[in-house]
């Protein structure tokens, strides 16, 4: 990679919404591996460019990945003496700036591997997001798009507990009682960014009545999207419903990243 290609690498990571840390040598004195202005990009799984290798780079990698793990939002600088203590014989000094760029990918879980679930997952798999596809019926997963994580769990509610905060939940199983159980589990978490349930207005009224009986407030139930999807898309074919739901999810995560 050309030394100036850090801009291209950052643009590619931004498009994929992959978090990274940009490292820049701010100051150098004496003998150092790379000059002031040298850059390196660190993601959870790989690096781009270099600030000189050796133990300096090893330490900087550890700091950058800890920032990613902790979702550290603020830039910071670190000063390094490149002597025997750091395991390098350069003998100079370097100051490195760490800038976290946390373009996180939406974490989307789709419950249900029926016709609509299959159409939706195939659409979501083309977007910059992490997709978890949940159904207790292993035989339904006949055509899984690349990058999609299949979760064949006896109790799909277990996946609700495994998801990180600000996840996106789409409930469209083959069984209304299962949908209701999932709605209760998701509402109990309460830390979702998006929560949608397939169904009619009648289904919503029935679910709202039952969930209110379980202690959920009207304010909590107002965060549940049902019917699901962009209202202007009226079609009933699986592909049409999938487009409506995917469009609503895209609008939701794009708005999130504008805030």
The H or E element that residue 111 is part of is strand 107-111
- Each domain of the chain, given as residue ranges in start order, spans 6-101, 107-258
Q: How far apart are CA 51 and CA 28, in angstroms?
A: 12
Q: How far is CA 216 from CA 48, 111, 205, 219, 222, in A?
A: 48, 22, 14, 8, 10
- Condensed to tens digits (0 to 9), the pLDDT of residues 5-51 reads 889 998 888 877 788 999 999 987 766 666 788 899 999 889 999 88
DSSP state of 199: S
Is 89's pLDDT higher than 80? Answer: no
Nearest to 44 by CA among 21, 23, 24: 21
Q: pLDDT-derived band of residue 83, with 50, 70 and 90 as boundaries?
A: low
Say yes or no to pLDDT of 82 above 70: yes
pLDDT in tens, 178-199: 999 999 999 999 999 999 999 9
194-208 pLDDT, tens digit per residue, is 999 999 999 999 999
CATH class, 107-258 region: alpha beta
Q: Read off the pLDDT of each residue in 54-68 and give the average, rounded to a whole number.
A: 91
Give the separation between CA 48 and CA 249, rounded to whole angstroms: 31
């Amino acid at each position: 990679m050309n030394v100036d290609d850090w801009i291209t690498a950052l643009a590619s990571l931004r498009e994929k919404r992959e978090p990274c840390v940009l490292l820049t040598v701010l100051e150098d004195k004496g003998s150092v591996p790379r000059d002031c202005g040298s850059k390196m990009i660190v993601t959870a799984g790989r690096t781009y460019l270099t600030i000189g290798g050796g133990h300096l780079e090893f330490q900087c990698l550890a700091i950058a990945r800890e920032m990613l793990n902790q979702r550290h939002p603020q830039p910071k600088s670190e000063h390094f003496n490149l002597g025997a203590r750091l395991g390098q014989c350069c003998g100079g000094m370097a100051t490195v700036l760490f800038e976290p760029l946390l373009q996180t990918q939406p974490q989307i879980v789709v419950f249900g591997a029926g016709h609509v679930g299959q159409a939706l997952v195939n659409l979501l798999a083309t977007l910059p997001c992490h997709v978890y596809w949940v159904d207790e019926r292993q035989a339904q997963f006949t055509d899984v798009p690349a990058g999609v994580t299949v979760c064949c769990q006896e109790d799909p509610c277990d996946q609700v507990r495994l998801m990180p905060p600000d996840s996106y939940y789409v409930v469209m199983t083959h069984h209304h009682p299962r949908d209701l159980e999932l709605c209760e589990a998701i509402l109990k978490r309460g830390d979702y960014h998006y929560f949608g349930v397939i169904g009619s207005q009648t289904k919503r009224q029935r679910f709202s009545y039952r969930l209110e009986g379980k202690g959920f407030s009207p304010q909590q139930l107002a965060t549940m999207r049902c019917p699901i999807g962009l209202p202007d898309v009226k079609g009933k074919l699986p592909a049409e419903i999938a487009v409506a739901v995917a469009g609503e999810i895209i609008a939701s995560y794009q708005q999130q990243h504008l805030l």
